[in-house]
Structure 1
């Protein structure tokens, strides 16, 4: 057992990853990938340090802070926190990153307490985090308050429970083979388009969002935290406008990423009422990630979710023909969206648990 004292210091956010002070931030990206690999065998779930850097540098909409745990000179864990910048915001989202080699040394507990103290200092009283899980294989599964989905216990979930966190929701991580026959997507798109009728028309673009669409896109992006199923997770309502969309576009493409958007406009009102986003890093042979997908509550039942998903996937196969698969997360209680995914060929590969504590 080591006797070297544990130290926890702030994570430096460099101006550039080539700068001398960038080593810890680069290690942060590498640790993210390691944790995803250890927990579920999917390192590509994590963003790279280059993909995260712009979001950490721009504090306009979210403040990101991190802390590095060391024994001597060795990094043994980190914790990152994200704070929405709206004046009314109450939540602090955090991510504990301790590799398996150090999970039994009290480092997780120390970093969790450090994160909670940081949240208190910033006046936040709702703490939220997510854990990664492989599919359930035993009888000791954890069931969220929603009653939908099950996850196996882990060292991190046990720690959170011991500190008073409740499992609020389970999300399913599914993947689709992008090399599969496109006939399923084409048929589903044709049927859904005919069903939706003439009041709806499809839109498509790649970031940056065209200026003429920013206001409409801002309105539907704002609804992701209010209209998407979230159990009892208390997400802060977000304030969106065209400028925020432009800032987000810069952050999402700063490291050479490609982002494609498929949307549906309600012609009588001119409102964007559904959207789907696909993103890939600068390596176009890597895994594609689905970001937001939403159908505005009052327009559900018209198969708009199928339209945006299929339209974007079909277009994506032309834009990025070398990406092998797309990964997405959906709440287990969101059966309408999971029904679409399953019909299109998505298969579950891992799960996430959403945890919350009020202090």
Structure 2
């Protein structure tokens, strides 16, 4: 295939998707879904333009930039670059979106070079990206530095390797059938509650988080950046307070999404020590996505992960009866969480590879 030199321009972030300058951002949402469909047959892994726009409009906690590659007037690919805004953040996270029809023509190389230049200009010393993979065996299987999990090589992983990226981690994408018999969930929840005992109690709410819970919720959200398994991927420790919780929820709810939270409180300290979030887009018949799930390190071993997962799945069946499936990602080395998923009926449907390169 002939190598070409595309024209690359910044992605415009509109005030509204109805604005005259919103065409490229709408195309971004469509391309994101197309890539997920081509790579793993799961277009609903990708949020649409309406879901993504609030995040792009607020750069307080993360700055998102995008670049659009064109041949003549046709969009042939995009790349996005996200910069965490913590003072100690070192990485720029990339998402390379080039459809199969245009792969191998130099579009991906040009976009990757443009994103790297932006990362260097902003003083970042690391590049990170994620690749999607089908759950199948291939002639060449890749194993991350963690030693957990394996993924089949793809054109994107080949590009990452050729550009000096190292496969640091593999995540499993699993789905749960919301139409299945809820009895196993109830049994697992009852058993876990008996193990946890009176030291812990369950708290449930729909976002936005009640004001009296924001500080506690901020505390457990902060632990996600330090306590969740991440191999050698360089993620900064995030600083959370009630104001950041409000900002996050304004972004999440701004596109008509709904979020259910189930948390566990340590009774003697009043501290929230575990949580699970389930999110759905404005279309309540679509795929539900599990967002954050965490049990604080100091409180592991009490079945709190099972409690928050099972309680929220049961709650969700009542809140969103028209959603049929829940999708979630977990690190392959996070066996405690994967054990819970497997026991209650989650099945693997795809995988993601976490790549990192020092500049």
TM over 0.5: yes
SS in 2 for 1:197: helix
Q: CA deviation at 1:6?
A: 1.1
2:275 corresponds to 1:257: no
| Equivalent residues of 2:170, 2:352 under 8 A apart | yes
Structure-2 separation of matches of 1:271 and 1:184: 29
Aligned equivalents of 1:160, 1:48: Cα separation in 2: 26
Q: Write the distance in 2 (CA, Å) between the matches of 1:3 and 1:148.
A: 37
Question: Aligned residue for 2:102?
Answer: 102
- Which residue of structure 2 lines up, in the alignment, with residue 328 of structure 1? 328
**Partner residue in 1 for 2:19:** 19
1:268-318 deviations in Å (ceiling 9; x for gaps) = 111000000000000100000000000000100000000000000000000
CA-CA distance at 1:139 after TM superposition: 3.9
Residues in 2 aligned to 1:84 and 1:138: alpha-carbon distance in whole angstroms: 35
Q: How far apart are residue 88 of structure 1 and its match?
A: 1.7
Equivalent residue number for residue 350 of structure 2: 350
Cα deviation, residue 3, structure 1: 8.0
Paired residue total: 359
Aligned position for 1:276: 276
Q: 1 CA distance for matches of 2:153 and 2:4?
A: 30
Q: Tell me if structure 1 keeps the 8 A contact 2:138–2:153.
A: no
Deviation at 1:136, TM superposition (A): 2.6
Please say if 1:40 is aligned against 2:15: no
Map Cα deviations across residues 85-140 of structure 1 (whole Å, 9 max, x no partner). 11221111110000000001011111111111100000111111100000132241
Shift of 1:187: 0.3
| Match in the other structure for 1:129 | 129
SS, match of residue 7 in structure 2? strand
Structure 1 CA distance for aligned equivalents of residues 307 and 3 of structure 2: 59
In structure 2, what is the Cα distance between the partners aligned to 1:211 and 1:73? 49
* Partner residue in 2 for 1:74: 74
> Does structure 2 conserve the Cα–Cα contact (< 8 Å) formed by 1:130 and 1:352?
yes
**How far 1:345 moved relative to its partner?**
0.3
In the TM superposition, what is the alpha-carbon distance from 1:197 to its structure 2 partner?
A: 1.0
**Cα distance in structure 1, aligned partners of 2:336 and 2:2:** 51
User: Whole-Å Cα distance in 2 between the matches of residues 95 and 6 of structure 1?
Assistant: 18
Contact 2:5–2:107 (8 Å) recurs in 1 = no
**Which SS does the other structure have where 1:20 is aligned?**
coil
Paired with 2:207 and 2:251, the residues of 1 have a C-alpha distance of 11
- RMSD over aligned CA atoms reads 0.9
Distance 1:79 1:131 in 2: 13
Taking a change above 3 Å as real, the CA distance of residues 2 and 155 of structure 1, as seen in their structure-2 partners, is closer
- Map 1:131-280 onto structure 2 (within 5 A): 131-280=131-280
Query: In the alignment, is the contact (CA less than 8 A) between 1:5 and 1:72 conserved in 2?
Result: no
Q: Equivalent residue of 2:198, what SS? A: coil
Structure 1 stretches lacking a partner, 5+ long: none
Distance 1:41 1:156 in 2: 16
The 3-state SS of whatever aligns with 2:151 is coil
In structure 2, distance between residues paired with 1:81 and 1:74: 21
Secondary structure of the residue that 1:223 maps to in structure 2? helix
- Cα deviations across residues 11-46 of structure 1 (Å, max 9, x unaligned)? 000000000000000000000000000000000000
Deviation at 1:240, TM superposition (A): 0.5
Q: Aligned equivalents of 2:83 and 2:293: distance in 1?
A: 22
1:192 is paired with a residue whose SS is helix
Per-residue CA shift, 1:34-75, capped at 9, x if unaligned? 000000000000010000000000111110100000011100
- Give yes or no for contact 1:136–1:150 (8 Å, CA) kept in 2: no
* Contact kept? 2:5, 2:110, Cα under 8 Å: no
Runs ≥4 residues deviating over 2 A:
1-5
